[in-house]
Every structure is written in C-alpha cells, then in structure tokens.
Amino acid sequence: MTNPLLSVENVTVSFDGFNALDGISLQLMPKSVRVLIGPNGAGKSTLLDAIIGHVQPTKGRVIFKGEDITRVDEYKIVRKGICRKFQAPGILESLTVADNLALAARRNRQCWRSFGTRISPEVRSQVERVLGLIGLEGKRHAMAAHLSHGQKQWLEIGMVVASDAELLLLDEPAAGMSHDESSQTAELVRSLSKQHSILVIDHDMTFVAQLDAPVSVMHMGRMLKEGTLEEIRNDPQIAAVYLGRAKEVPHA
C-alpha cells in the first residue's frame, strides 16, 4: 500500500473565534486529482492556505511526503514540492512570459545563488516544455502584463507546473475563462495528473465534470462528503446545502 502524498489531519483554523476550518481531514495519493467544491465561505481557499503555510492551523497537522510541514515557512514548503496557483492571477507583470516561467523553474532559489546571468539548460528545456503545454509558445517574449485574462491564468498554471512540484494546488484555474478556454484548461489539468498530484478548487460544475475526478464537498469548514460527481449530485443532504442553492443561481 502506498502512503498518501499529502495528509491533512484534523486541521482547525480560527480567526477571532470563528472556525474557518473546523477539524478537517483530507488525504491525497501520489498522481491523483481531487476537486474541492462548496459554497462561498466553506473554507476551500483557507484549506489551501493552511497546506502551504499561509495561515497557521490552531489545531491539527499537515503531513507532506511523511514530513510534518505545519510550522514550516511558506517558501520552504514550496521548495519541498508544493506549488499554488492563486484565485486572482498572480503573474509577474513586468517580466516576459519566458522570464516568468524561468523564475518558477529555477532550482537555485537562495539569494546567494542568484548571481548568475546564465540560464541553465534544464531550466531552458523546462520553460520550453511548459510553453508548449500551456500553448503560449508564440508569446514567450511578450510582457506578461499584455496577455489576455485567460492567458494570464494559463501562465500562472504554467508557473506552478514549471516549479516541478509534486503537489499542485489550483485555486479556480478556469475562473473568468470562456467556455472553450475552460475546456482546454480541464484537459490540461487531466494531462498534468500523469506527473503531479493536483488539488483543484472550482465552482463551475461544467468544469468540474470535465475534470472527471473524485470530488470533496466542503461546508462550514468541514468535509461534508467525498465521492464521484454523480454520487455527490444524488446526495440529498448536499443538494440541500449546495447544489440546491446553486440551481437557483444560474452559472455563466
């Protein structure tokens, strides 16, 4: 039996007495995809924050590759192999597309090792591979600021992939995308799962269906249910808290 790559154990996160996460647990196997859904304020983004060290859990632990990373600095957690795409595109606007990816792909991230002008062949080939993956080969010298919204989202997904992390955390990767862009993104995420474990947050049920992966439903900082999208859809309890309400609010 293989060990889980990521294991979130009874994590509670409190802000001024309010439990954004309330004793939540989650396990993720190597090279698997998991989709997190839930109404606004369910704590999905907070869960990613807790995994990557952006917020400190008041209780519980986060184990990555058998190691407790609960109190480790954010940038050191990234160096261990977890990389996150934020909800709003967090690309570096005054650098070119290729420079954005090269920065993500670089292994020598310590300050004292950054004084080279040469880009190593490994980084170069990684940048080329990811450019192909996200379909921005033609834009490599463009300033990231000049990309369209969808391209910015892809670039940030590309940066997360270029970092060669084993675990990718994607917070609404298809937000604000057109229908076609959204399908392409779903296909990209599926192809990435051959090499990475991926935890995806999304609201858009069409996109979630395209991902074709196990779904975990969060509600009020807790895990409500885990299963296939079909099982989730047919669960009366979930329909009450989430899908029932989602039906009233038509999706774009």
Size of the site for other proteins (CB under 8 A): 31
Which range binds other proteins by CB under 8 A, 14-22, 24-32, 101-109, 198-206? Answer: 101-109
Q: Quickly list H helices, the chain.
A: 44-52, 74-80, 97-105, 121-134, 149-162, 179-192, 205-211, 229-233, 236-238, 244-248
Instruction: Rank residues 18 and 112 by Cβ distance to other proteins and give the closer one.
Output: 112
Instruction: Rank residues 2 and 117 by Cβ distance to other proteins and give the closer one.
Output: 117
Binding test (CB under 8 A) with other proteins, winner from 18, 40, 94, 194: 94
CB of 217 to other proteins, least distance (A): 26
CB of 117 to other proteins, least distance (A): 5
For residue 181, the cross-strand partners are none
Which range binds other proteins by CB under 8 A, 64-72, 105-113, 187-195, 201-209? Answer: 105-113
Q: Measure the N-to-C terminal CA separation of the chain; round to a whole number of Å.
A: 42
Q: Which of residues 124-143 bind other proteins (CB under 8 A)?
A: none
CB of 182 to other proteins, least distance (A): 23
Cα–Cα dist 195/13, whole Å: 31
Cβ contacts of 224 within 8 Å, gap of 6 or more? 38, 217, 218, 237, 238, 241, 242
CB contact burial 218-238 (16+ within 10 A = b; e otherwise): bbebbbbeeeebeebeebeeb
Residue 73 interacting with other proteins (CB under 8 A): yes
- Among the listed residues 32, 36, 31, the one whose alpha carbon sits nearest the alpha carbon of residue 51: 36
Residue 201 interacting with other proteins (CB under 8 A): no
Write out the residues near other proteins by the rule CB under 8 A. 52, 73-76, 78-79, 83-84, 86, 90-95, 99, 102-104, 106, 108-111, 114-117, 159, 163
